[in-house]
Amino acid sequence: MSDSNRLWWKHGIVYQIYPRSFMDASGDGVGDLEGIRRRLGHLAWLGVDGLWISPCFPSPMADFGYDVADYCDIDPLFGGLADMDRLIAEAHRHDLRVILDLVPNHTSEAHPWFQASRSSRDDPKRNWYVWRDPAPGGGPPNNWLAIFGGSAWEWSEATGQYYLHSFLKEQPDLDWGNPEVEAAMHDVLRFWFDRGVDGFRIDVIHRIAKDPALRDNPVLDPAGGYGGQRHVHDENHPDVHERLRGLRRLADTYPERVLIGEVYLFDPAEVARYYGKGDELHQAFNFSLMHAPYSAKRMREEIERFQELVPEEGWPNQVLSSHDAIRHASRYDDPQHGEGRARLLAMLLLTTRGTPFLYYGEEIGLRNVEIPEDRRQDPLAWTLHPAASRDGERTPMPWEPGDGAGFSSGHPWLPFGDDADTRNITCQKEDAGSLLHLYRDLIALRRNTKTLERGTQRSLAAPAGVFAFERTHRGERVVVALQFGDEELELDLGRGRVRGGISTRWGSELPRDLEALVLGPAEGMALLVDS
Ligand code: GLC
């Protein structure tokens, strides 16, 4: 369908790829860019509009790529620049846009900028990072803590000062107060935009501005570690908005490029401020669903709240799973209704107003995988606690039954789940009633129904346990009813003749009108309605 008003990042759907785990073409057990290229057909078949690839730049992999040692190259583990060029070109041939992951808050300690910076107090790059003397009585300059455990300051013997790191000590924070840093990061954006990249997912963007005076954070609970402080000085400093406007101005010099930021703040009103007046981020990630329990009421409240907060010029998005959170099929699992719930949430994600972000594997209901101790990879297992490890949501994609699951001919870097022989792309493709087909059908419905892509959204009165809403656009109306409970129930959503739609229950018949809907346990319906 050609539609000149259709904006891929706004009306479309984005699919997140964790490159280590999508497809391994080289046989070393770790996914790579050539692997992604070979599997683009899957994304085109599914019907998404773009893919976001988590970092694939040269890195010592202390944080699996979120420690970048060169922003303008590809880690040999994943291929090279020529592979990225091929991937972009082929994605574009499939009408798929490519989003890369920009990590502007910190580099790897192995980045030449930091190597220079740490070498001497007089080095021209010294002030690209945040170096400070010890506090007057000795010890770290202030009370800031690293999100990944311990003090946010690391002592550097060579020059007798501490440097700041919000995450691992291997990830020193850049100083964005230094205009040279900002200019260098703008060059990075230009480098990739010029190569045809369509946008960036920007890592922890709320951290690129901190209190220049480095004041202590107020402590609420001295034993509470990172969570025991109010993070008023080490993130979300007002300067962040001017820095974002700078990035946006640059992005706007290219056609249809997009900036989507990870603003990991728990107050959605603060997150929404990162849209600016349509002059900062195109989208700030809305993680509220990732933190909501399986509850019609809570999901409804979260969705309503963010919709209200996003400024008129902005556009929301919806996320259920990512490389940092327990997969939602596991989060909301249930021995009896787990599959039904995964289907219900697929409908929620793909019928709600705002760009849906899918995390690879969710289309087949991939669960978190239990990782044996001797195969743990995520450093958080050591710096924080084994339970903090994100390995479980980062396991390789099962493409087909059998050894290696069509992912790799080698030894996969993380194990597959026990169900990989049945829960995989090939098996679900052959089964018209599978979750995979439901995802594809819902994606097609969204794409073919402007109201779902663009319409307004309004919640409807519904019995407890049901989240019902209507989407409207230019006289067209879609009603969505999602029943979170485990018992069949009847509901009356007013007048309206149903002329089509989808139920999450394979084979279940659609009602003729809205007055007499019957929803089974964890059943959802998206109904095209004539008023
Ligand atoms: C973001 C990423 C996470 C990473 C962290 C540090 O939160 O999503 O995976 O560990 O930033 O870069």
Do 293 and 436 fall into the same domain?
yes
% of the chain surpassing 70 pLDDT: 99
Please tell me whether residue 200 adopts helix, strand or coil conformation.
Answer: strand
Structure tokens at 180: 């040279």
Please compute the mean of the pLDDT values over residues 406-424 and round it to a whole number. Answer: 98
Pocket test for ligand 1, best of 324, 357, 359 (most atoms within 8 A of CB): 324
Atom 2 (ligand 1) nearest CA: 203
* One-character DSSP codes across 457-517: EEEE---TTEEEEEEEETTEEEEEEEE-SSS-EEE---S-EEEEEEESSTTPPPPSBGGGE
Find out whether the beta carbon of 324 lies less than 6 Å from any atom of ligand 1.
yes
Is residue 174, in this structure, part of any structural domain at all?
no
Chain-centre distance for alpha carbon 19: 13
Atom 4 (ligand 1) nearest CA: 66
Find out whether the beta carbon of 66 lies less than 6 Å from any atom of ligand 1.
yes
Whether 118 shows a pLDDT value over 50: the answer reads: yes
* One-character DSSP codes across 430-445: T-TTSHHHHHHHHHHH
**Burial of 78 by CB count in 10 Å (0-12 exposed, 13-18 middle, 19+ buried)?**
buried
Find out whether the beta carbon of 367 lies less than 6 Å from any atom of ligand 1.
no
Is residue 449, in this structure, part of any structural domain at all?
no
Is residue 187, in this structure, part of any structural domain at all?
yes
Of 388, 421, 443, the domain-final residue? 443
Is residue 2, in this structure, part of any structural domain at all?
no
Do 284 and 353 fall into the same domain?
yes
CATH code assigned at 119: 3.90.400.10
CA distances from 417 to 220, 412, 502 (A): 40, 12, 30
As a whole number of angstroms, the distance between CA 149 and CA 226 comes to 7
DSSP summary character for residue 428: H
Is residue 248, in this structure, part of any structural domain at all?
yes
As a whole number of angstroms, the distance between CA 177 and CA 208 comes to 9
- Unique residue bearing structure tokens 């000590």: 169
How many structural domains are present in the chain?
3
DSSP summary character for residue 530: E
Helix ranges, 220-295 (H):
239-251, 268-272
Do 160 and 246 fall into the same domain?
no
Of 124, 141, 164, the domain-final residue? 164
Contact 236, 272 (CB under 8 A): no
Q: Which atom of ligand 1 has the smallest separation from the CA of 67? A: 12
φ/ψ of residue 164, rounded to 5: -90, 140
Q: What is the pLDDT of residue 531?
A: 72
Do 223 and 189 fall into the same domain?
yes
**Of the candidates 16, 100, 6, which has an alpha carbon nearest to the alpha carbon of residue 357?**
16
Reported pTM: 0.97
Do 346 and 467 fall into the same domain?
no
CATH code assigned at 257: 3.20.20.80
CATH code assigned at 515: 2.60.40.1180
Structure tokens at 218: 């107020």
Pocket test for ligand 1, best of 16, 17, 66 (most atoms within 8 A of CB): 66
Do 46 and 151 fall into the same domain?
no
Do 201 and 147 fall into the same domain?
no
Find out whether the beta carbon of 200 lies less than 6 Å from any atom of ligand 1.
no
Question: Catalytic site residues?
Answer: 203, 262
Find out whether the beta carbon of 235 lies less than 6 Å from any atom of ligand 1.
no
Find out whether the beta carbon of 63 lies less than 6 Å from any atom of ligand 1.
yes
Do 98 and 117 fall into the same domain?
no
Do 485 and 417 fall into the same domain?
no
Q: What are the pLDDT digits (tens) for 358-389?
A: 999 999 999 999 999 999 999 999 999 999 99
Structure tokens at 233: 């000085």
Pocket test for ligand 1, best of 67, 204, 290 (most atoms within 8 A of CB): 204
Do 405 and 517 fall into the same domain?
no
As a whole number of angstroms, the distance between CA 422 and CA 427 comes to 6
Q: How do beta strands 476-483 and 466-473 pair?
A: antiparallel
Is residue 173, in this structure, part of any structural domain at all?
no
Q: Cα angle at 494 between 490 and 499, to 5 degrees?
A: 90
Of 443, 463, 498, the domain-final residue? 443
Find out whether the beta carbon of 205 lies less than 6 Å from any atom of ligand 1.
no
Q: How many other β-carbons are positioned within 10 Å of the β-carbon of residue 140?
A: 18
Find out whether the beta carbon of 203 lies less than 6 Å from any atom of ligand 1.
yes
Is residue 448, in this structure, part of any structural domain at all?
no
Find out whether the beta carbon of 323 lies less than 6 Å from any atom of ligand 1.
yes
Contact 481, 491 (CB under 8 A): yes
Q: What are the pLDDT digits (tens) for 197-249?
A: 999 999 999 999 999 999 999 999 999 999 999 999 999 999 999 999 999 99
Do 14 and 93 fall into the same domain?
yes
Is residue 484, in this structure, part of any structural domain at all?
yes
What sign for the dihedral angle of Cα 316, 393, 348, 346? positive
Q: What is the pLDDT of residue 1?
A: 43
Terminal Cα-to-Cα distance of the chain (whole angstroms): 26
Do 59 and 137 fall into the same domain?
no
Whether 2 shows a pLDDT value over 90: the answer reads: no
Atom 12 (ligand 1) nearest CA: 66
Q: How far does the centroid of ligand 1 lie from the alpha carbon of residue 36, in Å?
A: 21
Boundaries of domain holding 509: 455-530
pLDDT class for 4, splitting at 50, 70, 90?
A: low
Strands (E), 49-147: 50-53, 97-102, 131-132
Atom 9 (ligand 1) nearest CA: 324
Lowest mean pLDDT across 2-6, 84-88, 267-271: 2-6
Helix ranges, 365-467 (H):
380-383, 425-429, 435-448, 450-454
Pocket test for ligand 1, best of 18, 57, 63 (most atoms within 8 A of CB): 63
